A and B are shown apart, each in its own frame.
Chain A
Amino acid sequence: MNIKRLLGIDTLQDKYSYGHDPRFGYTSAAKIPDRWVPTTCGYCSVGCGIEIGVKDDRAVSVRGNEGHPVNSGKLCPKGLAEHHILEAESRAVRPLLKHSGRLQPVSWDAALDRMVDEFRKVQQKYGPRALGVVSTGQLVTEEFYTLGKLVQLGFGTNNYDGNTTLCMASAVSGYKRSFGSDGPPGAYDDLEQADVVFLVGANIADNHPILCYRLERNPAKTLIVADPRVSKTARMADLHLPLKPRTDIALLNGMAHILIRSGLIDRDYIERHTTGFDQLEEHLAKYTPDRVAQVTGLSEETLYRTAMLYGRAKAPMIAWTMGVNHSTQGAETVNAINNLALLTGNIGKAGASPFSITGQCNAMGTRETGGTSSLPGYRKFEDPDDRRELARLWRVDESELPAERGHAYPDIIEACVKGEIKALWIIATNPVVSFPNVDVLTQGLANLDFLVVQDGFHPTPTTELADLVLPAAIWGEKEGTYTNSERRVSKVNRAVSPPGEARSDFDIFLAVAEKMGLKEKLYPGWSGPRDAFDEWRKVSAGRLCDYSGISYEMLDRHFAVQWPLTVEQAAALDGAAPPTSRLYEDGRFQTDDGRAKLFSIEWEPFPEQPTTAFPMVLNTGRTVEHWHTRTKTKEVKILERLSPTAWLEMNPRDARGLGLRQHDRVSIVSPRSRVDDVELRITEIVGPGQVFMPFHYFERNSNLLTQSAFDPISREPNYKQCSVRVEKTAAARA
């Protein structure tokens, strides 16, 4: 500190002066840029339009894009401070190769040579499928499309999946089973049009705050929230259903039972557009209100009220997120939700639809284009026609395309543990924090011959284990598109240069192909993301997720438009923005017979029930200030201050029984592991017998406790319930 400051003559006037930004008005002069670059927020899949203020190749501020159809200028607290992540100290800035146990700088050329060399060695020795790839929902669609080709055609392995399996796989599987294809039928506009909005296991106030803004624009609606925890969203509800953990299938079946019995179903719709009603009706007979009340802990009166609200609504919407997906019955729960929509004909019309609220900014993009759980354009691996068509479009031999899906993410990890997968490429994800029962994952990673981690940040708990770290450009530093929960494709633009030697993932994929001598085969004449997008438009033409009418120019003009949009539809618009679209408006589904399937779903108790030794149920989740494993948000000082550490929520009755006091440091012990020194928050937000902990904090990682239990259909982990005991952390541990 200088003497002028000590005397108080210098008060940093410059730093604290104000000025007028021509677009956004009076504000701190330091935050006024030379130009605003429109783009899309890179956190969650609400997909808000955002503008980055750039001055001298530095991002100095961000603002919500007032012209964007999703958010009309509003942002959540993460978005409002998003530019700070670009200059984080922990950005990865040069390739690092492990040499005598330490990661050391290496040139890009040497890094990629080594990577291709090691992957080839493993594949020659153990077979092509000994290479696994775990990707993400964080890249732009152009990169997912490019990566899918590289993995499936270049490396010839189908052991390729994304962290989206930890997130939305149950929704994907549920849609495929009910409707014959992935693809969320509804739109955010439904939040504004619906007269009843029923949220199941969705805490949008913490996780998708801008959807609350959309919901708020609909003052006439009745909001029902099913959540065992009195979450922020539950507190917004007109009717909160505090059901016992994971009894939502019983609730949904019970509602369907009441609707059928009360004649509040659309028999005409069922007859014309569905199959499986008779079995379902028979199956639901046993989901009587008194039994469902017993299972869920809700009163019969509440059940009736909920069913009546939904059944009598003109346009009811059901939306869900992780409370449904993170379950060994996740896909089936989605089917039970879809059943309600189909039984009442509430799908494909304004305000009414079943709707999955996606997690990551571009989980949708990888689902559509990535070639993980399906081939690009929602094509099925096992469908010879789909394979033939794609091979033709790609100008490759059909035999080069895999005829079945490879391992899903958890199975890739298990194959690592078993020694079947010997090399792994992890892209833009941090599984050492996010994977359930994480000790299994670290054991699997330790078995590998070679681990490549490609990320925008280093160190992360995962990059620290890598043999090779590839530094990637992140949001704000590259171009492409994200597709949000409502199928809306939104442009992502480069505002500033990546730090150091970091390169866009797109460039990295092309460089790897180049090293393999496959660049011209896989990416003929490509130089930038636009080439990938244009090829994808052709590949998607005629599919449910038809992008063919969407161009970068259109996105520049309207910021974001929904798929499907065919070339003909686009031409007919004559430059206007396309109206909101919903899938299945005509009742024609993507199944072989064009009818949606009603599934008879049986409720099962969650797999790890409390015992005497582990008497409490641990629920894990998020808080509004942080994103996933905090790789980005821990670098934003204001977010870190607002939510500085992990905590455990416990009901006062349990705390009294355990002799615990507010702010005590506690240990949480599951049959697998323990987490120490977590701050206790005694609160009536959670019910007796339940505790809640956020999963963001690697320093106190809740995923040491969660279990290796996966949905047999979607392979999604059962993050939301496991049994634990809580004890005061001994001073020595703290």
Chain B
Amino acid sequence: MTSSLVQIEPLANPFRTPPPPGPSRQARGLVGDSPLIPAIPLEDGQQYRFHFDMSKCIGCKCCEVACSEQNNNPPEISWRRVGEVEGGVYPNTQRLHLSMGCNHCVDPACMKGCPTQAYAKDSETGIVLHNAEVCIGCEYCIWNCPYSVPVFNEERGVVGKCDMCHGRLKDGDAPACVNACPSEAIKIEIVDIEAWKREYAGSANAPGLPSAADTISTTRVTLPAALPLDAQKADYHRVRPEKPHGSLIGVTVLTQLSVGGVTAAWLLSLLTQQPVRMAATVALLLGLASLAAAPLHLGRPAFAPLAIRGWRTSWLSREILSLSAFGGAAGAYAASLWLALPGSALLGAASALLGAAGIYASSKIYLVPGRPAWNMGHTIAEFFLTGAVLGPLLLTAFGVDSPGLLSAAAVAAIGQLLNQSLKFVRLIRSEEFERQASARLLSNELSRGFLARIALTVAGGVALPLAGWPLAGFVLALAGETLGRYLFFVSVVPKNMAMSFFSRQEAA
């Protein structure tokens, strides 16, 4: 009787033949002329999409409750959400409701980002399907989706999202949300994909929605005849810090420290002909330890190896591959130093190169349109500068006496300070809601942390080392970069549809 959640159906598929009439869910009590789901089969180059009629939606949230029941989701998880935008002046007020599931995009960012190929765009229906069997709960799809559609399910350790009730459509039944809507504001339609790529801009955008250009959302929105010019999201004023991702803070800072340390050791030995064995090894071990601990941030650590499957599209897969390669090269480099084997300079160079590739891949993970405050060159700069500040300081903390290292760290620290300040200025000046909101967080709730981060970097990266306290400098600089990374994670404001006034409300 039961089948698995995510079984992707074999290609011999009922969608290409006229769907059998459902037991009765189509015919009865229809309000409008058009059917709730297409009565004709899909042809090549076509896919299913949602049509949402904003002028009909009364904001009753039946769709949201029906979706929850259909999928037995916990109450805090919504695969379909109802939001609001408001504009106008009393009594000519407009408060418009948005009801959205997954937009089953032509170019799904969730799918490209997924390191395990848990996502697939169904070749028959165009529905973006997610396979919980393969999902490792890395949550990278959540960052990628500009609509914040995928949701992490804490009790399962995997992500889930709207699949347009694929299993119901196959039987010729309307999806739960479509079926529940008392004003028939949600329907399923057939769209011609090539034509939609040309025309989507006019029909896939709506007040309260991120630009459809990011992923070419297929949801067609019918807007009311007159829209308020001043439409504002109902949740505009409630911006809350995001999850800190504690283990990711550790993993990114320590791998960057490791790459910085190994690279600094290699450069120093290249320039001074004096091998820096101990510090390089410590740097390596820190890097390896953090890589080994990295799976702990996954919802399903046991399946971490699946994360390299998506290397063709996913920067997360590429990060894992390049950092693992760095670990191997740096290990060989360290061994060559201890055993005084030949070719250590070459191994050092390879480590530095692969490490740089790893940091680059790491930073590219965060360069996603769905998270505008991350999607800036400052992210790449921040990650490299973390390595450049901490790497040399690690060496000096281990007693390597080199003014060049201290100067390099100081220059990098000043670079980091400039990078952070410039980013902040750009966030403040941005006209984009999400970037502005990030700046708002940094200058309000997070302001103390932001100032402390600056102070720690000045003290640890510049002042203390130059004053002859390299160990204290390293410790403070490490604290500064760690705090900085915390702020990086919590201050980002994801792109999302307009939510309701009470979304992100803490318990009453």
Contacts and interface: CB of A to CB of B under 8 A. Distances in A.
Nearest to B84: A683
Interface string A219-242: 100000000001010011000101
6 contacts: A8-B136, A8-B298, A212-B60, A642-B64, A644-B508, A685-B86
A645 B508 CA distance: 6
Contacts of B72: 15-16, 28, 30-31
Which of B25, B62, B71, B301 has the most C-beta atoms of chain A within 10 angstroms of its own C-beta?
Answer: B62
Interface residues of B, number: 73
A53 B5 CA distance: 21
Contact of B90 (A9, A685, A697): A685
A232 B87 CA distance: 14
A675 interface: no
B66 interface: yes
Interface stretch (A73-81, A266-274, A329-337, A483-491): A73-81
Given A8-B299, A16-B5, A28-B72, A75 B155 contact: no
A242 B91 contact: yes
Interface in A10-38: 11-20, 23-32
A213 B58 CA distance: 10
Interface string B134-170: 0011000000000000000001111010000101101
B137 A642 contact: no
Given A80-B62, A209-B58, 7 more contacts: A17-B5, A18-B5, A25-B171, A77-B65, A80-B66, A212-B183, A235-B95
Interface string B202-234: 000000000000000000000000000000000
B60 A19 contact: no
Contacts of B95: 230, 232, 235, 683, 685
A216 B90 contact: no
Nearest to B505: A644
B377 interface: no
A186 to B, nearest CB: 20
Interface string B79-99: 000000011111101110000
Contacts of B28: 66-67, 72-73
B357 to A, nearest CB: 28
B29 A73 contact: yes
Which 8 residue pairs of A and B lie closest in terms of their CB atoms, listed nearest first?
A8-B300, A72-B29, A242-B91, A645-B508, A637-B75, A213-B182, A28-B72, A26-B167
A29 B69 contact: no
B2 A18 contact: yes
B81 to A, nearest CB: 10
Given A209-B58, A645-B502, A683-B86, A77 B507 contact: no
Contact of B23 (A23, A236, A644, A662): A23
Contact of A699 (B58, B160, B505, B508): B508
B61 interface: yes
A66 B237 contact: no
B500 A18 contact: no
A319 B274 CA distance: 92
Which of A67, A72, A642 has the most C-beta atoms of chain B within 10 angstroms of its own C-beta?
Answer: A642
B64 A77 contact: yes
A663 B237 contact: yes
A25 B58 contact: no
A73 B76 CA distance: 26
Contacts of A24: 23, 25
Interface in A663-706: 663, 679, 681, 683-688, 697, 699
Given A8-B300, A216-B182, A684-B89, A28 B508 contact: no
B2 A681 contact: no
B66 to A, nearest CB: 5
A609 B306 CA distance: 69
* Dominant SS among interface residues on chain B: loop
A299 to B, nearest CB: 12
B502 A644 contact: yes
Contacts of A5: 155, 157
Contacts of B22: 25
Which of A17, A71, A639, A647 has the most C-beta atoms of chain B within 10 angstroms of its own C-beta?
Answer: A17
Contacts of A205: 58-60
Contacts of B90: 230, 242, 651, 684-688
B501 interface: yes
Interface string B1-38: 11111000000000000000011110011011000000
Which of B70, B93, B238, B500 has the most C-beta atoms of chain A within 10 angstroms of its own C-beta?
Answer: B93
A624 interface: yes
A643 interface: yes
Contact of A19 (B2, B136, B173, B182): B2
Nearest to B179: A73
B25 A209 contact: no
A14 B94 CA distance: 44
A25 B508 contact: no
Contacts of A687: 90-91
Given A235-B94, A625-B61, A644 B507 contact: yes
Interface residues of A, number: 78
Which of B56, B90, B176 has the most C-beta atoms of chain A within 10 angstroms of its own C-beta?
Answer: B90
B132 interface: yes
Contacts of B236: 662
B71 to A, nearest CB: 6
B61 A684 contact: no
Contact of B500 (A7, A74, A642, A699): A642
Contact of B183 (A28, A216, A638): A216
A733 interface: no
Contacts of B24: 66
Contacts of B70: 27-28, 31
Contacts of A209: 58, 60, 62, 182
A75 B180 contact: yes
Given A624-B61, A684-B86, A80 B2 contact: no
A620 interface: no
Interface string B102-128: 000000000000000000000000000
B75 A232 contact: no
Given A26-B171, A28-B71, A210-B182, A66 B2 contact: no
B195 interface: no
Which of B3, B91, B502 has the most C-beta atoms of chain A within 10 angstroms of its own C-beta?
Answer: B91
A9 B507 CA distance: 32
B31 A216 contact: yes
B184 interface: yes
Given A13-B5, A637-B75, A644-B505, A77 B23 contact: no
Nearest to B55: A236
A61 interface: yes
Interface string A362-403: 000000000000000000000000000000000000000000
B34 to A, nearest CB: 13
A240 B91 contact: yes
Interface in A588-647: 624-625, 637-647
B1 A19 contact: yes
A79 to B, nearest CB: 9
Contacts of B86: 683-685
A705 B502 CA distance: 24
Contacts of A240: 91
A688 B91 CA distance: 10
B64 A61 contact: no
A236 to B, nearest CB: 6
B61 A642 contact: yes
B317 interface: no
A305 interface: no
Contacts of A20: 1, 171
B77 to A, nearest CB: 10
Contact of B168 (A26, A30, A66, A638): A26
B4 A13 contact: yes
A26 to B, nearest CB: 4
A121 interface: no
A261 interface: no
Contact of A11 (B62, B132, B180, B502): B132
